[in-house]
Amino acid sequence: MIPAHEALERLRAGNRRFVSDDRSSDALTGHSRRREVAAAQEPFAIILGCSDSRVPAEFVFDQGLGDLFVIRVAGNIVAPSQIGSVEFAAERFHTRLVVVLGHSKCGAVLATLEELARPSEAQSRNLQSIVDRIRPSVQDLMQTELRHDPEALVRQAVRANIRVSANHLRHGSEVLEQLIRNEGLLVVGAEYCLETGVVDFFDGMP
């Protein structure tokens, strides 16, 4: 079992390689690695990330097959199925680091802000369910001066949504609460910058 602090440093080091275009060798995804992980997996980190096609966690953190247990959903929201997936990996594989990975200019967050400004009746129930999960984390921002600065509003809303998702994992599951209390599980929030490729770990850091 890899402790949370060591797993976090692995992710940071991998992101530095990604940003500097100094990627690891094909050993991470080649034939030998496939054979190695075919029988069992031991992911050292759980990533709850956005489904955005520009933010594949394995690339962003320069990791290979079997290294990350990745859960992706638009807006990196936390619903029962996501909590259950995190619980499964944390218990089954003894993974001790969970990262909620959002990103700059998140389309789901932007859609939520647009919905708050101009409610639409045309949105499907399924899309509305995503908006409804993001809404509580960003609606208060609409009452501040940020409403006059759209770019700043989106930046702050993205981070607010990440914080709320991370907190939901910390306090919305008896299983995860117990692992945090007794087994060293760490849940942190991070934001990926689309322009630079840098991941900023900013919430829940030890």
- For tokens 């909620």, name the residue: 100
What pLDDT is attached to residue 146? 87
Is the predicted pLDDT of residue 125 greater than 90, yes or no? no
pLDDT, tens digit, 9 for 90 and up, residues 50-69: 999 999 999 999 999 999 99
- Contact by Cβ (8 Å): 63, 14: yes
Is the predicted pLDDT of residue 97 greater than 80, yes or no? yes
Is the predicted pLDDT of residue 129 greater than 70, yes or no? yes
CATH no., domain 4-203: 3.40.1050.10
What pLDDT is attached to residue 2? 96
Taking the whole predicted model, whether its pTM rises above 0.85 is answered as: yes
Given phi > 0 = left and psi -120 to 50 = alpha, else beta, which region is 92? alpha
- Contact by Cβ (8 Å): 161, 109: yes
What pLDDT is attached to residue 170? 98
Indicate the pLDDT class of residue 26, thresholds 50, 70 and 90.
Answer: low
Token pair for 9: 């440093």
Indicate the pLDDT class of residue 27, thresholds 50, 70 and 90.
Answer: low
- Contact by Cβ (8 Å): 78, 50: no
Residues in the chain: 206
Q: Is 1 helix (H, G, I), strand (E, B) or coil?
A: coil
Query: What angle, rounded to 10 degrees, do the helices at 125-138 and 150-171 form?
Result: 90
User: Domain limits of the chain?
Assistant: 4-203
